[in-house]
């Protein structure tokens, strides 16, 4: 790794630390670094500081970092296996499928969004994973032509599947009682407002288990930049490797959607920016994309809390940035 790349990574890390500091210290209750350190060490036991730090700010920050990391890694993988920079879990319908799986679970099994217990929170990612797998399977089945993945068809079908699963989610959420509908609607648009330690613990095992598998396969992702015939000639089981990587990326997306709803475009923007910083080799691209995803979501959360008198969902802020960026990419690629 060259000195220039190391400097760029250090700059991203410094920006992340700065945004982390802003999220930790700012809010209705201003806290200095000294206040935070004394509260963490239990030197200062003032109730307002303790509740604000441990019940609100730390869970929210950690959840934002977790979601940003997972979505960015998943986006990098999907762009790698399709060899298409416009691929994104949100655009392609995988996030919508995961969201639908969770809404169906809430509607038919748990019965309520407002009253949640540890069991329902911990099992959510599994239903999200099933929904995401269903969406991915439909997209890949319809996009497969003559033993190869038709990329333009893949993108268009993904957009259609996303709209379909979003409609299903909306249908079930409309049949909920008003309190559940309001909360489900905010969650579906991407929100980390109700971050708790339970949400973090429900998603953390998925990230810890699946990320090493993806990182281990960084050379496979590099090879997917070549044509399938070339990769097969190297003795790589292309379809098998694609399936493994898809299952892992869908698992990450499902875990993130289960705790934060459908935050789109993070999986699109983070890999693109990271590619400009460190190049195309996934050995460096994957971890830097995760770092960039954390920075993007944490920044979006800070903006969502301060841009208006009332807080808006993080997913809306991400979309406000993501839509112009997607248009820019389309114009640049002349798609």
Mean pLDDT (whole number) for 217-242: 85
Considering the chain, what is the average pLDDT of its residues? 84
- Could you tell me the residue ranges of all domains in the chain? 3-333
Give the containing element (helix H, strand E) for 228.
helix 228-233
How far apart CA 129 and CA 88 sit, in angstroms, is 16
CATH 3.40.50.300 fits 3-333, yes or no: no
Q: Is the pLDDT reported for residue 111 higher than 60?
A: no
301: CB partners within 8 A, 6+ apart: 23, 60, 64, 192, 314, 317
pLDDT at 335: 45
Q: Which residue has the tokens 């460190």?
A: 278
Residue 307: count of CB within 10 angstroms of its CB? 14
Length of the chain: 335
Mean pLDDT (whole number) for 148-159: 78
Q: Which pTM value belongs to this model?
A: 0.90
Q: Name the more confident of 21 and 2.
A: 21
Q: Are 66 and 256 in contact (CB under 8 A)?
A: yes
């Amino acid at each position: 790794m060259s000195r220039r790349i190391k400097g760029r990574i250090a700059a991203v890390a410094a920006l992340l630390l700065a945004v982390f500091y802003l999220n930790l210290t700012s809010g209705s209750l201003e806290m200095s670094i000294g206040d935070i350190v004394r509260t963490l060490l239990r030197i200062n036991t003032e109730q307002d500081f303790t509740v604000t730090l441990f019940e609100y700010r730390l869970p929210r920050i950690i959840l934002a970092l977790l979601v940003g990391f997972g979505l960015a890694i998943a986006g990098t993988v999907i762009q790698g296996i399709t060899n298409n920079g416009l691929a994104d879990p949100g655009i392609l319908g995988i996030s919508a499928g995961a969201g639908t799986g969770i809404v169906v679970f809430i509607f038919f099994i748990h019965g309520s969004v407002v009253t949640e217990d540890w069991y329902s929170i911990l099992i959510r990612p599994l239903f999200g994973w099933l929904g995401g797998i269903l969406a991915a399977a439909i997209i890949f089945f319809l996009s497969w032509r003559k033993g190869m993945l038709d990329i333009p068809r893949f993108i268009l079908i993904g957009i259609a599947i996303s709209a379909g699963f979003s409609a299903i989610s909306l249908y079930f959420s409309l049949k909920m009682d008003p309190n559940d509908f309001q909360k489900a609607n905010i969650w579906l648009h991407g929100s980390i407002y109700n971050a708790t330690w339970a949400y973090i613990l429900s998603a953390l095992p998925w990230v810890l288990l699946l990320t090493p598998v993806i990182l281990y396969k960084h050379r496979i992702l590099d090879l997917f930049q070549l044509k399938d015939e070339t990769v097969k000639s190297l003795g790589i089981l292309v379809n098998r490797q694609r399936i493994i990587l898809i299952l892992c990326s869908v698992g990450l997306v499902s875990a993130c959607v289960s705790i934060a709803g459908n935050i789109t475009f993070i999986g699109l923007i983070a890999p693109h920016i990271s590619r400009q910083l460190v190049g195309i080799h996934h050995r460096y691209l994957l971890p830097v994309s995760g770092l960039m995803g954390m920075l993007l979501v944490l920044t979006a959360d800070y903006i969502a809390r301060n841009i208006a008198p009332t807080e808006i969902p993080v997913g809306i802020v991400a979309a406000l940035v993501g839509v112009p960026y997607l248009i820019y990419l389309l114009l640049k690629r002349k798609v």
